[in-house]
Amino acid sequence: MTSLGLYLTKKSVNRAMVSRRTGISQARLSQLSSNDSTKLRADELYLIALAIDVDPCEMLKEVYKDVKLKG
């Protein structure tokens, strides 16, 4: 499961509702939640955050918490 998938599961998010509110297909949401090679676009993250009523910055920090600068 991806960081986004874990985040959505932790928040008990209804993915069908997210799909309806954002226009992101359920198949795409499934890919984003389960396939590490699928890249999450900034616009998708922003729409998902709005749909589940969380601050997009909070969601960004949580989903990408393992990303660090080199050096």
Can you tell me the mean pLDDT for 12-30? 97
Quick check: is 17 in a domain?
Answer: yes
Angle among Cα 9, 10, 12 to the nearest 5 degrees reads 60
User: pTM value?
Assistant: 0.93
Rounded to whole angstroms, how far apart are CA atoms 58 and 50? Answer: 11
Can you tell me the mean pLDDT for 23-48? 97
- What letter would DSSP give residue 29? H
Split into its structural domains, the chain has a count of 1
Quick check: is 68 in a domain?
Answer: no
Range of the domain at 52: 3-63
Tokens of residue 60, six digits = 């960004």
Q: Is the pLDDT of residue 71 over 90?
A: no
Q: 47: domain CATH number?
A: 1.10.260.40
Q: Any residues with CB less than 8 A from the CB of 26 and at least 6 apart, and which? A: 15, 16, 19
Per the listing, tokens 């922003």 go with 46
% of the chain at pLDDT higher than 90: 99
Quick check: is 44 in a domain?
Answer: yes
Can you tell me the mean pLDDT for 27-40? 96
